[in-house]
């Protein structure tokens, strides 16, 4: 049976998240950043990376697994590269700082690449890509995570869900792809658990390595797209863990294991000014491609061709108008600080 839900608008929802985060010692500035990033996801229907994460963050802070006072200074490696050591702090503030730094480099030199090491969960990568798109910049972001995905042909988790996001601006529309390299993000499993709803049999395996439709029995995830998705899963690990962080797969500290341990995730934030090669005409060409895709015949008579990010933008418009639906148990925690029984 699906759990009851509560509908709430974005601003009061942010205030609830801020209240829960500041009561465990998070600075008001950091709490506002984190709340903005979490609600960004819920507004777009990406509930796996939304406010349901708040309770975990507060539990981790209480047990010492998130450093509330990291030094997020940028260490430049060249005029277009740099690295930020998050010091085990909130991944959201570190990733936002990295994106801001890469944007500054790209505005001056045409491109910027900033890595983040020793970070924790940073929320939806689409948020950081959107920061670049607002400045008419192309962006690629990626992050590694702890072991949660079985290798192609395997039964035990090795790499993480290893998400990446990509954005490219047109004159009026933009492409924004944000995806895990697992069949789904583990947050979707958590959301199914909160709602007590079954999951498709190609999402996850049980502890014995067999596919399961019970979210409560889900032990590890499948890579998306078989061996091709597994290959992209490895690519993200190389761009983050190998290039930036110095740790991979089983070496990454678990999100839901020892909550007293600081985490060591790595992030990759690359921003390129599209005008480098084609000038302002690049945006016109990108818009032409998007418009041409929209005009392609759909397989179903009532169907339409959408580009990555369009469904989320439509969800955003609906959520701003009608409010955001969240499970009652999550609302109970956000309102009271107590877990619903």
Residues catalogued as catalytic: 121
Return the bridge partners of 139, or none: 167, 271
Q: 83, 117 in Cβ contact below 8 A?
A: yes
H or E segment to which residue 313 belongs: helix 310-322
CA distance 226 to 210: 16
CA distance 95 to 36: 13
**What are the DSSP E strand ranges found in 24-173?**
74-78, 81-85, 111-119, 138-143, 164-169
Q: How far is CA 282 from CA 36, 88, 111, 169, in A?
A: 31, 39, 16, 9
CA distance 229 to 126: 20
């Amino acid at each position: 049976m699906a759990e009851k839900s509560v509908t709430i608008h974005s601003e009061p929802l942010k205030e609830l998240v801020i209240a829960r985060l500041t009561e465990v010692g998070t600075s008001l500035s950091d709490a506002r950043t984190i709340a903005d990033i979490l609600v960004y996801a819920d507004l777009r229907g990406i509930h796996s990376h939304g406010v349901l994460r708040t309770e975990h963050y507060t539990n981790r802070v209480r047990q010492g697994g998130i450093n509330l006072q990291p030094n997020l200074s940028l260490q430049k490696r060249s005029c277009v590269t740099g690295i930020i050591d998050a010091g085990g702090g909130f991944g959201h503030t570190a990733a936002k700082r990295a994106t801001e730094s890469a944007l500054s480099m790209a505005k001056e030199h045409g491109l910027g690449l900033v890595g983040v090491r020793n970070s924790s969960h940073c929320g939806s990568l689409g948020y950081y890509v959107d920061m670049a798109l607002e400045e008419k910049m192309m962006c690629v972001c990626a992050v590694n995570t702890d072991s949660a995905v079985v290798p192609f042909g395997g039964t035990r988790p090795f790499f993480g869900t290893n998400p990446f996001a990509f954005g490219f601006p047109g004159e009026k529309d933009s492409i924004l792809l944000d995806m895990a390299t697992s069949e789904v993000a583990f947050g979707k499993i958590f959301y199914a658990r909160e709602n007590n709803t079954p999951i498709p049999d190609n999402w996850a395996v049980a502890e014995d390595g067999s596919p399961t439709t019970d979210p409560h029995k889900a032990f590890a995830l499948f890579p998306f797209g078989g061996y091709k998705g597994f290959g992209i899963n490895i690519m993200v690990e190389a761009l983050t863990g190998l290039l930036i962080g110095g740790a991979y797969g089983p070496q990454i500290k678990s999100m839901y294991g020892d909550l007293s341990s600081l985490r060591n995730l790595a992030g990759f934030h690359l921003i390129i000014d599209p005008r480098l090669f084609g000038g302002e005409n690049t945006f016109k060409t990108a818009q032409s491609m998007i418009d041409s895709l929209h005009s392609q015949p759909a397989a179903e008579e009532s169907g339409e061709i959408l580009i990555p990010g369009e469904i989320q933008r439509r969800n955003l418009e609906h959520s701003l108008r009608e409010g955001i639906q969240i499970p009652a148990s999550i609302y109970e925690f956000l309102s009271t600080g107590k877990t619903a029984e």
